[in-house]
A and B are shown apart, each in its own frame.
Chain A
Amino acid sequence: MATQEVQPNETLTNLKAESDTLKTKLEDERAKLHDVELHQVAEKVDGLGQFIMKTRRTLKGHGNKVLCMDWCKDKRRIVSSSQDGKVIVWDAFTTNKEHAVTMPCTWVMACAYAPSGCAVACGGLDNKCSVYPLSLDKNENLAAKKKSVAMHTNYLSACSFTNSDMQILTSSGDGTCALWDVESGQLLQSFHGHASDVLCLDLAPSETGNTFVSGGCDKKANVWDMRSGQCIQSFETHESDINSVRYYPSGDAFASGSDDATCRLYDLRADREVAIYSKESIIFGASSVDFSLSGRLLFGGYNDYTINVWDVLKGTRVSILFGHENRVSTLRLSPDGTAFCSGSWDHTLRIWA
């Protein structure tokens, strides 16, 4: 019938018009509150003195690019994963390798330490996230106790335990994030909204509640409610893939690192970008970011082999750290904030303090 054919198209047009109006309204609302820049507010703050950090340990042992690393809560152990398919647990004080697992796939892009320190999770091109309990017996074959927890339809890009060993949050090249029960492997919640690969995620500090942020190839950073699965806020100001996201220690903001060679700070209560960390001389993508304990410093690992240290409030670069001989792919502050670890395509990890 002619009238029935016209109806759906009309409603589609109306919805499209409403969507455009809402997008403009969002921009206007955000712009109204943009009364000052962060660095202007921070003008009266003392500048940071000379900042010297050096490589204190170099962890050698991976046979190919290091793709991801995570600290254990004991502040000395580290898990790292590599393109060579190996996942290694190190004692960062002594640089000894404590455990090594060979995954059935290459490109293990994600790894995470369990809060208890008794297990590690990892995955990559196998599209899964698997949990390996760490045995005190060095001779025991860890691969035998492996538990497959998450199943995606494309590569696993990041994983993180929540506050306990019982749940894992994952992000994937299939465009989704998901929350899983470790014991049963059951999918507890899935998060849809990214238009392409999700590359990174970070959980909000536990005091601020059940949310997490994800970043993807669609240039968007999304903040999600873990219980409902809803996207609460969305930010799209980067000009290329977002490789890394990390919450500011207070939980009120988060930083992102992107292939557009910038790092940015987004404030959740102002619902907008409040700072850009960039220089004309920095033209290579930022692969990973993390804050110091007070949130004053932002460390960024870049594809030009360097680590740039930024004054978060003033927006200026405080220091540039050289040492890696290839792209820096991953970077995390130690749990007590006294050091940070970087992993690189040069096959090594470095501890800086």
Chain B
Amino acid sequence: MSGSSNLVAMKKIVQQLRFEASINRVKVSQAAADLQQFCMQNALQDPLLTGVSSSTNPFRPQKVCSFL
């Protein structure tokens, strides 16, 4: 009966919503501070922020070769 399958679907939706509503959340100020801290802590290890010299970055142009 289409009525009972709607019921089953609706029960699943309500169950899912109950689950989602019950999770623990932190304040955005806390979460944002943590995101920022991660960036700052890892900034020196981020080659695109620190810049990588030609000798260590295989994609940057190499020294020009001269033909003998």
Q: Given known contacts A22-B17, A353-B60, is B46 in contact with A271 (CB within 8 Å)?
A: no
- Does A279 have its Cβ within 8 Å of any Cβ on chain B? no
Is the pair A233, B20 in contact by a Cβ cutoff of 8 Å? yes
Is the pair B23, A293 in contact by a Cβ cutoff of 8 Å? no
A12, A16, A231, A269: most-surrounded residue (chain B CB, <10 A) = A269
B interface, CB within 8 angstroms of A: 1, 3-4, 6-7, 10-11, 13-14, 16-21, 23, 25-36, 38-43, 45-49, 52, 56-61
Is the pair A295, B31 in contact by a Cβ cutoff of 8 Å? no
6 CB contacts below 8 A, A to B, read A22-B17, A30-B25, A233-B23, A293-B45, A338-B59, A353-B60
A16, A38, A57: most-surrounded residue (chain B CB, <10 A) = A38
Is the pair B21, A29 in contact by a Cβ cutoff of 8 Å? yes
A339 to B23, CA, bound (A): 38
Chain A residues lying within 8 Å of B39, measured Cβ to Cβ, are 45, 294-296, 312-313
Chain A residues lying within 8 Å of B38, measured Cβ to Cβ, are 248-250, 252, 294-295
Please tell me which one of the listed residues A232, A267, A351 contacts residue B59 in the complex, with CB atoms under 8 A apart: A351
Q: Given known contacts A337-B46, A337-B48, is B35 in contact with A38 (CB within 8 Å)?
A: yes
The secondary-structure label for the interface of chain B is: helix
Chain B residues lying within 8 Å of A35, measured Cβ to Cβ, are 27-29
Please tell me which one of the listed residues B23, B28, B52, B57 contacts residue A267 in the complex, with CB atoms under 8 A apart: B28
Please tell me which one of the listed residues B1, B7, B40, B49 contacts residue A48 in the complex, with CB atoms under 8 A apart: B49
A292 to B42, CA, bound (A): 10
Please name 4 further chain A to chain B contacts, defined as beta carbons within 8 Å, in addition to the given A12-B10, A23-B17, A267-B32, sorted by A numbering. Answer: A15-B7, A35-B28, A248-B38, A353-B59
Is the pair B48, A56 in contact by a Cβ cutoff of 8 Å? no
Q: Given known contacts A8-B4, A293-B45, is B31 in contact with A270 (CB within 8 Å)?
A: yes
Chain A residues lying within 8 Å of B3, measured Cβ to Cβ, are 8-9, 12
